[in-house]
Amino acid sequence: MSYRMIVDTNRCVGCHACSVACKQEFQAPLGHFRQMTIYRDVGTFPQVKREFLPISCRHCEHPDCMVACKNQAIHKVDGTVQVDESRCNGCGDCISACSIGAVYVNPYTQKAEKCTLCLHRLKVGLQPACVSTCVADAISIITDNAPIPSNAVGIKNRASDTPRSRHIGVSQAMLDKLQEGKPFDPHLYEIDQWGGV
């Protein structure tokens, strides 16, 4: 069975509960996230609104991080991209290969970490931590035998990206900020503050 994440940005309220649940599930170190919600203010006064975009590993069909890993520590399992910590040497090649900054090296274990889509939970019939805690039901998981919503798109930061996760309701203003060549900064929630943007 293969899994896929669907994120409905029309429903996201920017509460960051998904990020907190993920940090708690995996005990991610301070300053590192497997799941985070970025935002952008759009419009002109008085018609201004804030758009939110939950973002994590997109579990690509052909992951650039997997290709970059010389130790073959990154592999595909049930439509997800996983890191085999026993093979990882913490070199960080996968970090520079990922166009959205979804991978980091844990400063304590010196191993690469990223969203696993909570495969350990899915295998026992539970939803991922981010899905089960989302108060707005903005994040869901479907299997490959379920239809992908027709209005869901795969967000690409580079032409070579092949995301399996799909997003609904992402505005063109947000997509423009995520276009090829724009530097992703996983430490800043507000994308207008990213360097070079």
- Taking the domains of the chain in order of start, what are their residue ranges? 3-56+116-193
Q: What is the mean pLDDT of residues 123-137?
A: 97
Contact 100, 7 (CB under 8 A): no
Q: With cut-offs at 50, 70 and 90, classify the pLDDT of residue 197.
A: very low
Q: What percent of the chain has pLDDT over 90?
A: 66
Pick the CATH number of 3-56+116-193 from 3.40.1260.10, 3.30.70.20, 3.90.950.10, 3.40.50.300: 3.30.70.20
* Rg value, the chain, Cα: 16
**Six token digits for residue 71:** 């130790």
Q: CA angle at residue 38 from 36 to 43, to 5 degrees?
A: 160
The percent of residues above 70 in pLDDT, for the chain, comes to 88
Residues 6+ apart with CB under 8 A from 163: 58, 59, 60, 61, 154, 155, 156
Please give the Cα distance from 179 to 2 (Å, whole number): 28
What residue type is 165 in one-letter code? S
Among the residue ranges 64-73, 112-121, 161-170, the one predicted with the least confidence is: 161-170
Measured CA angle at 59 (ends 74, 80), to 5 deg: 70
Q: Say if residue 90 is exposed, middle or buried (CB neighbours under 10 Å; 0-12, 13-18, 19+).
A: middle
89-121: pLDDT as tens digits? 999 999 999 988 899 999 999 999 999 999 999
